Structure formats: structure tokens, C-alpha cells
Amino acid sequence: MPLGPFTLVAIYLTSWWIVLFVILPIGMSSQVGEPPKDGAQWGAPTNPNLKKKFITTTWVSAIVWVVIVGVVWLGLIPVPQINPESLPAL
């Protein structure tokens, strides 16, 4: 397996943030029609359901992570090996 533990965690965290920004707007309805009474902004959702969206983001990004790691592990996308001796001297 060409991926180390740091790379695996980095791939998961990156996919988690991308999936979060995809899932955040799902099911949103803004306060339309009447002005907000509690000091909220006009475009603020009445119930954002953040806990549910974070849980959904976690399991969807786990699936995305498994697919990415599986593709790399099967060799469909090769990960280049960096040889320190072949790098130019600074």
C-alpha cells in the first residue's frame, strides 16, 4: 500500500470538508415572507439541522474515502514514489 497513515487521514479530512459543503444546502428553506423577529438575518434558515448534516457528512465521506483508497490500492491511479536522492539540491 503506497499510502501512509498521514496521507490516509489527510484524504479523509479533505473528503469530509468537500462532502460537508455539498450536503449543507440540502433541505434548506430560508425565512421568506415575514421579517425575522429574533434578530436573525433574512437569509438564515429556520432550522439548519447541523447535527444531522454532520453525521451524514461523516458516513458519506467514509464511503468516498474507501472508494479513493480502493482505487489507489488497486493501482487504477498510480501514486508516484518520490526518491529523495533524485530531488535537486537546494
Contact 22, 14 (CB under 8 A): no
Alpha-carbon span 44 to 59, nearest angstrom: 26
Can you tell me the mean pLDDT for 40-51? 78
Cβ-Cβ contacts under 8 Å for 35 (sequence gap 6 or more): 42
- When the pLDDT of each residue in the chain is averaged and rounded to a whole number, the result is 84
31 pLDDT higher than 70: no
| % of the chain exceeding 70 in pLDDT | 84
Most confidently modeled of 4-13, 46-55, 80-89?
4-13
Can you tell me the mean pLDDT for 59-81? 89
